[in-house]
Chains A and B, each alone.
Chain A
Amino acid sequence: SSEVTQDPAVSVALGQTVRITCQGDSLRNYFASWYQQKPGQAPILVIYGQNNRPSGISDRFSGSTSRNTASLTITGAQAEDEADYYCSSRDSSGNHWVFGGGTKLTVL
């Protein structure tokens, strides 16, 4: 079982803002990282640390953490943002990593 949990599915209207969340006690001590995965493709990192974007990732993507919940926010969602999104963090021991169950984002 995962130590971080995500909602299975979220939808957003084109151009609107959507927040995808990840909950877990370890998030009180460790940052989450967020990955976008499109069908048939490997995941790519979109957010890590406090709120860092790798080079080439749109500034539509931002991250935040409050207490035991990490959030990925997409501002002005585009059709190409439709994908599965996974959060990852360390587990409660701090020595291992876990992934959430993933959130399927649909852009309407």
Chain B
Amino acid sequence: QITLRESGPTLVKPTQTLTLTCTFSGFSLTTSGVGVGWIRQPPGKALEWLALIYWDDDKRYSPSLKSRLTITKDASKNQVVLTMTNMDPVDTATYYCARTPYGLDRFDPWGQGTQVTVSS
């Protein structure tokens, strides 16, 4: 059974850096063809793709957020970490991680999500 779980702070202040961790089980990021992505959803709004990392350390970022995002992996710990700098209230959202296979365009399964509020 594949599971993913997001963790991180629930509240960050404007201008701070957000660090989120996706801890997964049931698959390995040392396996060829495996990737993990991050997607967020502001309250009452649509999903927004943020970033993705593959087993071979290929990294992809949303063009609109690229300057603020960094995605890394620790395959030995089954973790993927997303950092987002210069947080703003508009970044308030539920942040999800999900597994994605290379070359097959889908995100499945998803973690339960972690809610992040940006407020002073």
Interface bracket on B: 20 to 34
A95 at the interface (CB under 8 A from B): yes
Residues A62-108 near B (CB distance < 8 A):
86, 88-90, 95-102
In the complex the two chains form, is A101's CB within 8 Å of B46's CB? yes
Alpha-carbon distance A96/B105, docked complex (angstroms): 11
Alpha-carbon distance A42/B109, docked complex (angstroms): 9
- A residues near B104, Cβ cutoff 8 Å: 48-49
In the complex the two chains form, is B46's CB within 8 Å of A102's CB? yes
Alpha-carbon distance A54/B37, docked complex (angstroms): 18
Residues B16-63 near A (CB distance < 8 A):
37, 39, 46-49, 52, 60-63
Contact string against A for B residues 83-106, beta-carbon threshold 8 Å, 1 for contact and 0 otherwise? 000000000000010000000111
Q: What is the total number of residues of chain A having a CB less than 8 Å from a CB of chain B?
A: 26
- B residues near A61, Cβ cutoff 8 Å: none
- B residues near A30, Cβ cutoff 8 Å: 105
B1 to chain A, nearest CB (A): 12
- A residues near B109, Cβ cutoff 8 Å: 44-45
14 A-B pairs (CB sep. < 8 Å): A31-B105, A32-B105, A33-B106, A42-B112, A42-B113, A43-B96, A44-B109, A48-B106, A54-B108, A88-B105, A90-B105, A96-B60, A99-B39, A102-B46
Binding site for B on A (CB under 8 A): 2, 30-33, 35, 37, 42-45, 48-49, 54, 86, 88-90, 95-102
